[in-house]
Structure 1
């Protein structure tokens, strides 16, 4: 019987901290056969990434391997292999393994790539360290790898910096860096977590093709069971450093045995959930209880929409070239119109770069549009008012009424401020309440989002990702707004924490009557939270409908592509990854008739059933096919 490429037995990793020692990995055993994909699944904090760091010998200073073996059986080396756990991290043998025979794709490419060096320099550095090649040969090999991983201009990528690339291309650069040495084992740590669903599908298909070509093994670390169902051969489920269940993909999905695995599956948003059905997080957050008890006094609702966006257009001018003489105009938002009603949720869906965040900033009055209007009606009897005409007190009232929940809570929370200071800062700025009243309000806000009042004296770094996102929501609610603009609020959270935050948002809406503009790239998430869904592509709204109508009868080819790109944790509904490798679904000039838009043509929204509108190229067409 052939020995596995990597065999881990009874691995234990211990951390020492100010509060005492704790064990992050406790008796982990798994095998990774050559040419196969093993998925390591679990929530944040389960020990997945620590396992990868132990394999590569890059554990943080506070950590040490407390026992066990990590045996690497080099298919090109001597029989018997080597125990990585016994090697010194800075030894010559470990350096040859790390990046050469065993490579890794990290979760966040922007923080893993040096902003001071070109992509070409960073990718060729790995080859120069591990192979006997000249700089010129390394650059040629890099061009070949860039072409293979799907860079539109592989040679130009050599002189490109990370900040010039989209999220998908940065992830492709990380894959190129890992693959240029032709490793035997690729460790992919959450390689698609923050990517939109079509880019994620393209990256997954790319990894699968490269694995078939090179014969490398893969350790796929993820919390996304939909990705696991489409990529893995074997699955290992971890919880708090221990293996809860392990087996083939078929066994794990068709015959799950452990209650923890079953709970993970129930926490995933799914299409066609029953009306009123809730996600079931592993740890339910008891939220909004105080909100229901305190019962905000009913505020009058406007007769019409709370927010009305009409024909918004926004373009950006970019200069490039040696002397910035080349001018290029990007139309980020093209004639977008939307309405948001009190107490309702409008989901805005699309890929990265489609204009979702730009539109959110315009609604917040953080950006001024080139044309169009944003009208807000708070129900106070003054009727709809143009947001960009507001001044002084009226503008300050608007700022209170419309608040923002950011994608990355850690970067949006000041690390030098305590939770109490973060929650009461909006109240101080707007002159709301006395010091004692602000303290009471801060405790109420923590109760609304399911956090203990003892958290008031702590700093953001002391919280998990899901807890930080709940703090971001609490801060946004401090001024009792009418509207929350939620920009990808759950895209980087694991499935159980994501379920907690989504349930929390639904509870808060039911008790406070707040309206949401929910921006996301994941249609399954939007299906769970939204009442109406607008699909955005290249600055256009291409389809808008109540969610039941949209999922029952998606009319636009781009909407269909987004639906097809959502990985479901179901072996009977695999992704058609090859279909999604092309970008023709997001190119208006390649859409089929009657949807094709060419030469700057805007088309027109047509109603194909009550409340269901789709963009077509000619207003004469009465019904979309």
Structure 2
């Protein structure tokens, strides 16, 4: 390894010209990135991490300008050192470096991918532009890379559009696009945020493999300190545009000095937390519960009726195989899924992208086209269970009031043309609740409920941070006083401190209002903190279901074990075993060991109770095998 850095950032400062004046987004930042090594940049939202990366790539907005400093990039192919700050962002020299020698993986894949071009076109285009190879050769190399990022059907990806993929699948496409030219420096801005832990581990392993083969340097921007502990050689900690602490990984984790870094480490959810123990965010949210708000009394302990029950639900979709061929491909999204949610309780739903978690949530919401092929979904508002898909007119309207949704992306789920007042009052208008004055007071109470100032109600979503936007989304879900809230990855896009705020807020609201949560997440540490019972999904099946403490103490299914082994830990003494993860076949039901194997053409698998309230799905042909012994 050369002793000279591949990228040297010195005294970099970036200002934004805002309506209220100048914002100093980055102030005199200094660090080095060396060939073949990984530098992790950590910090809260708004700390200047992404702005620093955009300055390096020449992608700053028109309102931003570099006021001082340099970004010296040494191309290992030519040995020429270039100050990236001095280049024309749209000039030929910068375009040749951007994408060819320095590539970037962006945090939000949907807004980074063209909606009118196929994934194959977008990934192969980078290779055609920077190497001049033929389109056919580029597509062949793209397919090889699609296999490495774990697309189930690499050939089909050449013809697939971004809107046909889940968030995790789109992120894999972004990673393939960034890595296809084998850049000297890869800037990864939250590259695994939308990915489940097994896919995250595979992507981290892929980045490490390419890094070792091509001596690629990586600048890894993340809020996941577990990823930092497993990937980084050096760490930069940023806060409000400045570097608070810089050092080697061992020094940062074993002997942190700055109070801000210590606070970040304390905010990370971890396993085996004590009963009643709370996360410790850098800043707590002050929650005010208005006296007029409904506070449900938990149901009596004697056989409480679940508020929501999913009974043997199956759902399939048909996808086109080609633009003009007329052929279709059947995808089985859900297979005999059963689940129940008690009043005032939280059920966690975990699994990789494409396992069926969001499909199940959409069915519960009775979204268009979500009617199950088989099975039924029951909802009980206290008057007895009713089939959700048989509700009509006023009954359906009442159901939609009772079941609300908190989305994964807090920005795209809020209308950018509506103020916070309009967003929060819209559900009240639709359901004809209250007078104008009463709705105003209700919006004020909702903002106080999630720890936001009433003065914010005239602002637009773009003027808030990610954590504040997620609190607005939560306030909107609470506007109609629902009995069930479906939380679809509500904290995956948030840094660890804001995540801790939101999770504590959700628990406080549940305790005060008696609301039930179906909590979808790929972060098992978050699920353990939030949920009483946990269901694990893979390829449309719930493969294991148990109380939180039982599942983490004694997992039985090979897929559940793989999920637990793939969790990156902040403890440097427990690193990820990338070799074992690469060899794992945990996501392939037909390759699971007996008695868990699920092969095409076999009878439907069975859920077997291996201990009280602990269920595991096994093959019907192996139903006689004692699961506890085989596991």
Query: Smaller-chain TM-score range?
Result: over 0.9
Contact 1:616 1:624 in 2 (8 A): no
C-alpha displacement of 1:282: 1.0
CA shift in 2, pair 1:558/1:154, >3 Å: closer
1:352-371 to 2 correspondences below 5 Å = 352-366=353-367, 367-371=370-374
Mapped to 1, the partners of 2:425 and 2:159 lie a distance apart of 46
Q: Identify if the C-alpha distance between structure 1 residues 132 and 320 changes in structure 2 by more than 3 Å, giving closer, same or farther.
A: closer
Maintained 8 Å contact 1:606/1:622: no
Describe the superposition over 1:159-192 as per-residue Cα deviations: whole angstroms up to 9, x where unpaired: 5443455545543433333333332211111111
- How far the C-alpha of 1:397 sits from its partner, in A, is 1.9
Distance of aligned partners of 1:300 and 1:177 in 2 relative to their CA distance in 1, 3 Å threshold: closer
Aligned position for 2:126: 126
- Alpha-carbon shift at residue 132 of structure 1 (Å): 5.3
Provide the aligned length of Structure 1 versus Structure 2: 620
Instruction: Flag structure 1 segments of 5+ consecutive residues without an equivalent.
Output: none
Q: How does 1:251-266 map to 2 (within 5 A)?
A: 251-266=251-266
- In structure 2, the partner of 1:446 is 447
- With over 3 angstroms needed to count, the CA separation of the structure-2 counterparts of 1:140 and 1:349, relative to structure 1, is closer
What is residue 347 of structure 2 aligned with on the other side? 346
Residue equivalent to 2:614: 612
Query: Offset of 1:447 from its aligned partner?
Result: 0.7
Q: Distance in 1 between matches of 2:46 and 2:91?
A: 29
Q: Distance in 2 between matches of 1:300 and 1:204?
A: 44
Is 1:373 the counterpart of 2:376? The answer is yes
Which deviations, in whole Å up to 9, do the C-alpha atoms of 1:525-549 show, x marking residues without a partner? 1101001111111111111111011
Moved more, 200-209 or 316-325: 316-325
Change in CA separation of 1:322 and 1:425 when aligned onto 2, cut-off 3 Å:
closer
- Structure 1 runs of 4+ off > 6 angstroms? none
> Is residue 480 of structure 1 aligned with residue 494 of structure 2?
no
Cα distance in 2 between the residues matched to 1:76 and 1:184: 9
Please name the residue that 1:273 is paired with. Answer: 273
Larger deviation, residues 144-153 vs 576-585: 144-153
In 1, the alpha carbon distance for the partners of 2:559 and 2:388 equals 31
- Higher mean C-alpha displacement, 576-585 vs 437-446: 576-585
1:602 matched to 2:604: yes
Alignment-derived partner of residue 51 in structure 1 = 52
Quote how far apart the aligned CAs of 1:348 are: 1.1
The CA distance in 2 between the partners of 1:339 and 1:163, in whole Å, is 31
Cα distance in 2 for residues equivalent to 1:246 and 1:501: 28
Partner of 2:39: 38
2:294 to 292, 296, 307: 296
User: Is the alpha carbon distance of 1:326 and 1:122 closer, same or farther for their aligned partners in structure 2, counting shifts above 3 Å?
Assistant: closer
- Unaligned 5+ segments in structure 2 are none
Deviation readout 1:578-606 (Å, 9 max, x if unpaired): 32335621222111111112225322111
CA distance in structure 1 between the partners assigned to 2:437 and 2:120 by the alignment: 57
Structure 1 segment 216-227 matched on structure 2, within 5 A: 216-227=216-227
Residues 480 and 266 of structure 1: is their aligned pair in 2 closer, same or farther, counting only changes over 3 Å?
same
Measure how far apart 1:75 and its partner are. 2.8
Residue pairs, 1:6-45, within 5 angstroms: 6-45=7-46
- CA deviation after TM superposition for structure 1 residue 269, in Å: 1.2
Please state how far the C-alpha of 1:12 moved relative to its aligned partner: 0.7
**1:564-583 aligned within 5 A:** 564-581=565-582
Report if the CA contact (8 A) 2:169-2:353 is conserved: no
SS of the equivalent of 2:318 reads: strand
Q: Secondary structure at the match of 2:247?
A: strand
SS in 1 for 2:616: strand
Secondary structure class of the residue paired with 2:411: helix
- Tell me the C-alpha RMSD between the 2 structures: 2.2
2:171 aligns with 171
Structure 2 CA distance for aligned equivalents of residues 490 and 360 of structure 1: 17
Please list the CA deviations of residues 290-325 of structure 1 after superposition, one character each: whole Å capped at 9, or x if unmatched.
24x446354684841111221112222334245454
Structure 1, residues 209-264: CA drift from partner, whole Å, max 9, x if none? 00000011111111111111111101011011101111111111111111111111
Closer/same/farther in 2, CA of residues 583 and 435 from structure 1, 3 Å limit? farther
Normalising by structure 2, we get a TM-score of 0.93
